[in-house]
Amino acid sequence: MTTPTAPTVAELEEQERRLTLPRFTYEDAWRLGTLLVELAREREAPVAIDIRRGGQQLFHAALPGSTPDNDAWIDRKRRVVERYAASSLLVGTRFRAKNTTFEDSSSLDPDTYAAHGGAFPLTVEGTGVIGTVVVSGLPQLEDHAMVVEALEHFMRPAPR
């Protein structure tokens, strides 16, 4: 996988609009999580994966090469999505677009919040953000790209 280029605020906002789900069930969490595991295994990516709806963890996997530190990053990135209802990369990119950083301008504890790519809101049509999907273990743009790729694949209609 080649390193993606940094997307703009507008590109990230369009991703979030495009990746709005019609629903998100327990079975959907399993399907999305196993899809992410398959992508990571194909790439031998040393990542941890986490999917939550509300306060409930519905899926978690740690692949070879991941560490407990990845779980700490998952928590920090997930909290940004929960607070801002936007992807962790979009939040960080919005701060950078204003010539500052999340760490310098958010007034939030960087040990608790990280506006680094890899956490994406699970948004359901007519409801709003209901949860998060997070990947941690790669450079932030790659974490984000893996989540987006999995969501795009997940949302494709099943072949007949």
What is the tens place of the pLDDT at every residue in 42-94? 999 999 999 999 989 999 999 999 999 999 999 999 999 999 999 999 999 99
| CATH architecture group of domain 9-154 | 2-Layer Sandwich (3.30)
Is the pLDDT at 142 greater than 80, yes or no?
A: yes
Q: What is the pLDDT of residue 160?
A: 65
Task: Of 44, 75, 56, 52, give the one whose Cα is nearest residue 146.
Answer: 44
What is d(CA 40, CA 95) in angstroms, rounded to the nearest whole number? 29
Task: Of 43, 42, 37, give the one whose Cα is nearest residue 3.
Answer: 43
The two most distant CA atoms of the chain are separated, in Å, by 51
Strand partners, 53: 56, 131
* Residue that the structure tokens 């963890």 belong to: 57
User: What are 91-117's pLDDT values in tens digits?
Assistant: 999 999 999 999 999 999 999 999 999
What is d(CA 104, CA 50) in angstroms, rounded to the nearest whole number? 27
Distance set, CA 114 to CA 9, 40, 156 (Å): 17, 22, 30
**Which pair of tokens denotes residue 41?**
């295994």
Q: What is the pTM of this model?
A: 0.94
Is the pLDDT at 1 greater than 60, yes or no?
A: no
Q: What is the pLDDT of residue 52?
A: 98
Domain boundaries, the chain: 9-154
